[in-house]
Amino acid sequence: MQRGQILKLTEDPHRRLNPLTGEWVLVSPHRATRPWQGEVAGVQTAPEPAYDPNCYLCPGNSRAGGVRNPTYGSTFVFDNDFAALKQSTDRTRLDIDQQGLIVAQGEPGICRVICFSPRHDLTLATMEIGEIEGVVQIWIDQFRELGTRKEINHVQIFENRGAMMGASNPHPHCQVWATASIPGEPQKELRAQHSYWKTRGRCLLCDYVALEQTAQARMIFENEGFVGLVPFWAVWPFEILVSSRRHLGSMNQFTGADSRALADMLHRVTSTYNKVFDVSFPYSMGFHQSPTDNATHSECHFHAHFYPPLLRSATIRKFMVGFEMLGTPQRDITAEIAAERLKQLANQQ
């Protein structure tokens, strides 16, 4: 680039800051100037049955350990049979070498599974909005119940969808991991939101959402309660950030209208995803909300991240290896191009 020439975000390699984490992503748009090829490489998979006798999440079936599921009619919550955390663990911290180099701490917690529907073959993309609203209500109940426990300071609700994401079962479900510590990702984001709040007296995500509503370039969905957009700093090809429009810290503050609006937003995001490569789109999704540590977290703004791995077709995924593992994440198609593509698909019937 010649001196005096201004950086072009549509052409020149550059890095973008994620203000929520303080981390950067390297963007190489010159490698992705080819127009959209529409490579859908249709992977034909047999449709799932409405009931699978071998599924441990289907109503009436027995799970590992011999527990039998009730013949539930809508949602169903149970403690994970192979929980990564135990409630009874002591929180003791051990500084084993006395120099802070070999340190461990007990992590008490609770892991639960939430089935979204008795139907084995449904997903958030194919469920009715009213059914998803029921799922949102269960999330709220779980967040409240787990969050009020003394030993629980953070409640992470997340969904892993698709074999590519390591989801062992296609039955529509998510997990809740409630922990004594605030995990790494929300911890980073809370710090950034807190410092923004302290220095500017405003909320980082309220300000960011307002900017994107004006710019529109990365905005895909808007309803009464939420927005869905490709963040400027997106790492995954079709990453989406869903954020409440109002400054809400957690689901605890949801009105009935908020629950319905979130259900509508999740349905829109996931059904649009399914159109990208004409497959049931794999992703990891989860909510970031206020910790339940009894502190006031005025800085915290409710949002969800969708991280889908697919890049160019139903089978070609993005890997975080090489420079990305050792340096910093990198992408070719810009957030704006991805948003444009998703917007087109969202408007297609």
CB of 275 to Zn ion, least distance (A): 25
Residue 133 or 189 with smaller CB distance to Zn ion: 189
The token duo for 334 is: 């810009």
CB of 288 to Zn ion, least distance (A): 3
Which of 161, 171, 297, 341 lies at the binding interface for Zn ion (CB under 5 A)? Answer: 171
Q: Which amino acid is at 189?
A: E
Which of 85, 167, 182, 206 lies at the binding interface for Zn ion (CB under 5 A)? Answer: 206
The token duo for 220 is: 């895909």
Number of other CB atoms surrounding residue 288 within 10 Å: 24
Tell me how far apart the alpha carbons of residues 177 and 58 are, in angstroms, rounded to a whole number. 21
The token duo for 116 is: 């979204």
Binding status of residue 189 toward Zn ion by CB under 5 A: yes
CB of 219 to Zn ion, least distance (A): 17
CB of 26 to Zn ion, least distance (A): 20
Residue of 289, 314, 313, 311 lying closest to 302 (CA atoms)? 289
Residues 239-278 that bind Zn ion (CB under 5 A): 247
Residue 123 or 313 with smaller CB distance to Zn ion: 123
Identify which range of 23-31, 148-156, 298-306, 308-316 contacts Zn ion by CB under 5 A: 298-306
Which of 173, 288, 318, 341 lies at the binding interface for Zn ion (CB under 5 A)? Answer: 288
Task: State the virtual CA torsion across 282, 329, 304, 104 in degrees, nearest 10.
Answer: 100
Tell me how far apart the alpha carbons of residues 123 and 171 are, in angstroms, rounded to a whole number. 8
Binding status of residue 144 toward Zn ion by CB under 5 A: no
Which are the catalytic amino acids?
A: 173
Identify which range of 35-43, 57-65, 69-77, 149-157 contacts Zn ion by CB under 5 A: 57-65
Q: What DSSP designation does 339 have?
A: H
Using a 10 angstrom Cβ sphere, with 0-12 exposed, 13-18 middle and 19 or more buried, the burial of residue 100 is exposed
Residue of 347, 173, 213 lying closest to 272 (CA atoms)? 347
Please answer whether residues 263 and 251 qualify as being in contact, where contact means their C-beta atoms are separated by less than 8 angstroms: no
CB of 299 to Zn ion, least distance (A): 8
CB of 211 to Zn ion, least distance (A): 13
Residue 154 or 171 with smaller CB distance to Zn ion: 171
Please answer whether residues 57 and 122 qualify as being in contact, where contact means their C-beta atoms are separated by less than 8 angstroms: no
Which of 26, 55, 83, 85 lies at the binding interface for Zn ion (CB under 5 A)? Answer: 55
Which of 25, 27, 57, 276 lies at the binding interface for Zn ion (CB under 5 A)? Answer: 57
Binding status of residue 26 toward Zn ion by CB under 5 A: no
Binding status of residue 120 toward Zn ion by CB under 5 A: yes
Q: How many residues in the shown chain lie near Zn ion by CB under 5 A?
A: 13
C-alpha distances in Å from residue 18, one per residue of 15, 24, 71: 10, 6, 45
Using a 10 angstrom Cβ sphere, with 0-12 exposed, 13-18 middle and 19 or more buried, the burial of residue 311 is middle
Binding mask 64-93 for Zn ion (x = CB under 5 A): ------------------------------
Three-state DSSP at 327 gives coil
Please answer whether residues 313 and 40 qualify as being in contact, where contact means their C-beta atoms are separated by less than 8 angstroms: yes
Binding status of residue 192 toward Zn ion by CB under 5 A: no
- Residues forming contacts to Zn ion in the complex (CB under 5 A) are 52, 55, 57-58, 120, 171, 189, 203, 205-206, 247, 288, 301
